[in-house]
A and B are shown apart, each in its own frame.
Chain A
Amino acid sequence: MNMNVLVVDDYQTMVRIIKNLLKQIGFSNVDEAADGKEAFDKIQSKEYGLIISDWNMEPMTGLELLKEVRGAQAAFSNVPFIMVTAESKTENVIIAKQAGVNNYIVKPFNAETLKSKIDSVLAA
């Protein structure tokens, strides 16, 4: 698939894992960012068809990134956004949904879950 995907996580190993799984699914254009701020800079300068982000990062969290993206007066404000995180409390899911997340994957996840959530988000 030619779509550009941005993977955001402060754990380099997790970035590498998600990138490899995305490659297996068929995404070949995958960029990475180590936190929300770096991600937002990239989103402003390049068109992405999907963002997959962790939550717990400094200095800008995944939730803050989501709010920045959704609040921007720009074409990218509606880009599909999947949160992939170990933060699995009910209030986290609700707040992320209220902020405009398209889907939410709790770590540890399997390849099938990642694929099904991506399919679901891109089909919507």
Chain B
Amino acid sequence: MTDMAQDKSYERGQVIQIINSVIDKMEQNTAPTHEIVSHIAELAQTLDKLKKEIAETDAGAAKEEQIRSATDELDAIVSSTAEATNDILAACEQIEKYAEENDIPQIAEYVSNIYVACGFQDITGQRITKVVGAMRVIENKVDRLLKMLDDHVGPIPGAPAQVADLPADTSASNSNEPVSIETVDEKKDLLNGPQLPEKAVTQDDIDKLLAEFD
């Protein structure tokens, strides 16, 4: 465990300990008022320290600049690969036309392989769209964290001015849970995009599955 992680763990434990101590003493009504006030002041100091540390992480700037910049870059990758793929396809179409005009049928097979290989643009585009979606979830969570801290411990430097009225956080669903065919939300749950190679169902698997219906 790093020093930083140990510090965070200690502070979290410390805060819980103070809260429990204050609640116990208030419930039992055994401690003098000045002792309870002292504990609350200690708690306030800890929260203030936490707030300063969050401000130092510049979470607001990360949300405003880095995440947005990264999603823009990813969008640019999709655009540029689409453009390059279209150029390759256009060149292939010219080669194919030349092969037809000059009766060179072998060329068609080679060109066919290039056509199929160009399908990478669709797959990478969908993968990048998934990453952009994940980054937007992170952005939403940063917004909510800043809003929560703003409400409870005062403004955080670098945080966006308006973080209210955020869309509902829908990122909590657990994709590892088994899916029931009867209850699945087809619009949301079935749109997962390309699977990673080690997790992907192959065409042979699909053919076997479809054969079971025959």
Contact = CB atoms under 8 A, between A and B. Distances in A.
Interface in A82-102: 86-95, 97-98
A93 B206 contact: yes
A11 B195 contact: no
A109 B179 contact: no
A contact residues, range:
35 or more
Contact of A95 (B86, B115, B190): B190
B125 A11 contact: yes
Contacts of A43: none
Nearest to B127: A86
Contacts, number: 116
Interface in B168-204: 179, 181, 184, 186-187, 190-195, 200-203
Given A24-B108, A106-B206, A92 B190 contact: yes
Interface string B117-144: 0111111011000000000000000000
A107 B126 CA distance: 11
Interface of B: 82, 85-86, 89, 92-93, 96, 108, 111-113, 115-116, 118-123, 125-126, 179, 181, 184, 186-187, 190-195, 200-203, 205-206, 209-210, 213
